[in-house]
């Protein structure tokens, strides 16, 4: 099939690992900043759903970072994003998720689908020659996967590096040998990394230090020229499918979006989706604003309302404004943290309760270590929307849901989906481009079934 756009070539690399906790995010950020400082235009993607790592990688690379997930977004969406990146980048980096072969689809599946070479990021502390055995096993498990080398993290001494290098086969070189350095560790909390907005100067300084760390590690590995020889160039093919023509466009619609330190889990892809289909975006802060701006619909995304529950509870004017919008029948989408904000109260890990908006009966209660995460489809009456769950709280005393999420690989019901008046609330984080028509109907209030009265 002939393409109206040219096939492009660009160096690209997937950073994958045997498991979580190997240092992928720190290394990807360090690489992005290092190559940016070398004058290269770097585009970074994050495999799988994630709100926190992409913010660090955006700061490191100086360009937006979006998720690449073939289940959540679809092959064609991923192809389009990669092709677009190849039109403007000198290097494309993709940070993997969990282990190389974990999940359906896995990082390996993504790399195979788009013929992207893979570097194995391995925490080599406590290992020497065994690094080669593990790397060779990963590289040969799927013979058509192009694994180009190893990035050895926490390599303590020159002798340690020598033992690893001597055991690695020629076709799996040590691309970089990174010393142990706890001073570049990125700060974390219960759902992952600390948000960049909270400690931007500190995190930026860590990334700069990481760039020098990578420079040293690269010199102890193959060196810069050999690194790019190993990575090579990947061909990126444009998609030819024209954009869908929707029956329910958003032209003329203004959507008020909550965005502040308490509500930050927003994919740029979702905002771009709303704008592409004609909506105007008006941001507001439930922490500091006294009313919701004039709008036709409201989106309350996820975030960390539990860290700001007292401030949210004391903003009586904003809560009253949201209740008025709800009572007036404005379509409202509340996801995860947005759901907690819509409940009657939110209790933290110390048992301290703060009143929330009370649009939905029930309480939100934070949990210590237990929570829920994973891929689910939101089985909305308007259609199936791909989504994911990631939270450390539970709800109590809530009304009967109108539907549940459908888990990707398990038959048990997923997260509850509530609807009252024109409010749709769930723990699920929706990926809007996965079903444009359903999302447009959601914000237009053109629901497929009668509203549930509680």
Q: Which residues are catalytic?
A: 336
Question: In the Cβ-directed half-sphere of 321, how many Cα atoms lie within 13 Å?
Answer: 20
Strands (E), 244-380: 254-258, 280-284, 297-300, 332-335, 345-347, 353-355, 363-366, 372-380
Residue with tokens 């409201």: 298
Note whether 414 and 388 are within 8 A (CB).
no
Q: What is the four-CA torsion angle of 106, 108, 110, 113, rounded to 10 degrees? A: -130
Strands 423-426 and 413-420, by their bridges, are antiparallel
CA distance 161 to 28: 21
CA distance 197 to 445: 33
And the tokens for 411? 């038959």
What are φ and ψ of residue 289, in 5° steps? -80, 150
Among 64, 433, 134, smallest CA distance to 270 is for 433
Note whether 16 and 107 are within 8 A (CB).
yes
Please list, in sequence order, all residues whose beta carbon lies within 8 angstroms of the beta carbon of residue 190, skipping any fewer than 6 positions away: 392
Q: What is the four-CA torsion angle of 429, 431, 435, 440, rounded to 10 degrees? A: 70
What are the start-end ranges of the H helices in 118-267? 130-141, 158-167, 200-219, 224-231
Please list, in sequence order, all residues whose beta carbon lies within 8 angstroms of the beta carbon of residue 377, skipping any fewer than 6 positions away: 384, 385, 386, 387, 405, 406, 408, 414
Q: What is the four-CA torsion angle of 410, 415, 419, 420, rounded to 10 degrees? A: 150
CA distance 281 to 384: 24
Report CA Rg, the chain: 23
Q: How far does Cα 206 stand from its chain's mean position?
A: 21
Note whether 150 and 120 are within 8 A (CB).
yes
How would you class 410 by CB atoms within 10 Å of its CB: exposed for 0-12, middle for 13-18, buried for 19 or more? exposed
């Amino acid at each position: 099939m002939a393409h109206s756009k040219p096939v492009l070539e660009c160096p690209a690399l997937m950073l994958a690992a045997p498991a979580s906790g190997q240092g992928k995010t720190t290394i990807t950020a360090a690489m992005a900043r290092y190559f940016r400082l070398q004058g290269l235009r770097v585009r970074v993607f994050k495999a799988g759903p994630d709100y926190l790592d992409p913010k660090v990688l955006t700061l490191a690379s100086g360009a937006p970072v979006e998720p690449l997930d073939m289940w959540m977004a679809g092959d064609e969406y991923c192809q389009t994003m990669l092709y677009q990146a190849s039109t403007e980048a000198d290097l494309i980096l993709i940070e993997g998720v969990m282990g190389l072969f974990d999940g359906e689809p896995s990082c390996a599946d993504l790399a195979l689908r788009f013929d992207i070479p893979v570097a194995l990021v391995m925490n080599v502390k406590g290992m020497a020659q065994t690094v080669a055995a593990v790397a060779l096993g990963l590289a040969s498990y799927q013979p058509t996967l192009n694994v180009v080398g190893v990035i050895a993290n926490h390599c303590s001494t020159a002798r340690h590096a020598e033992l690893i290098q001597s055991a690695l086969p020629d076709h799996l070189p040590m691309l970089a040998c990174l010393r142990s350095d706890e001073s570049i560790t990125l700060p974390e909390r219960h759902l992952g990394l600390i948000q960049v907005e909270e400690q931007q100067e500190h995190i930026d300084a860590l990334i700069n230090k990481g760039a020098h760390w990578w420079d040293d590690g690269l010199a102890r590995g193959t060196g810069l020229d050999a690194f790019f020889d190993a990575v090579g160039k990947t061909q990126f093919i444009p998609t030819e499918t024209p954009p869908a023509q929707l029956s329910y466009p958003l032209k003329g619609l203004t959507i008020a979006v909550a965005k502040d330190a308490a509500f930050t889990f927003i994919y740029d892809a979702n905002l771009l989706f709303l704008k592409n289909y004609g909506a105007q975006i008006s941001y507001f802060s439930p922490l500091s604003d006294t009313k919701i701006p004039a709008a036709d619909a409201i989106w309350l995304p996820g975030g960390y309302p539990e860290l700001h529950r007292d401030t949210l509870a004391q903003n009586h004017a904003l809560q009253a404004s949201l209740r008025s919008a709800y009572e007036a029948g404005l379509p409202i989408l509340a996801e995860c943290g947005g759901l907690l904000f819509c409940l009657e109260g939110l209790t933290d890990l110390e048992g301290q309760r703060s009143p929330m908006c009370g649009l939905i009966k029930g309480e939100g209660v934070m949990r210590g270590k237990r929570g829920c995460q994973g891929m689910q489809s939101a089985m909305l009456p308007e259609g199936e929307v791909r989504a994911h769950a990631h939270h450390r709280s539970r709800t109590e005393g809530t009304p009967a849901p109108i539907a549940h999420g459908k888990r990707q690989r398990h038959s048990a019901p997923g997260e509850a989906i509530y609807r009252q008046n024109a409010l749709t609330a769930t723990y699920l984080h929706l990926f809007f481009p996965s079903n444009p028509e359903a999302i447009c109907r959601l914000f237009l209030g053109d629901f497929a079934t009668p509203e549930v009265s509680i």
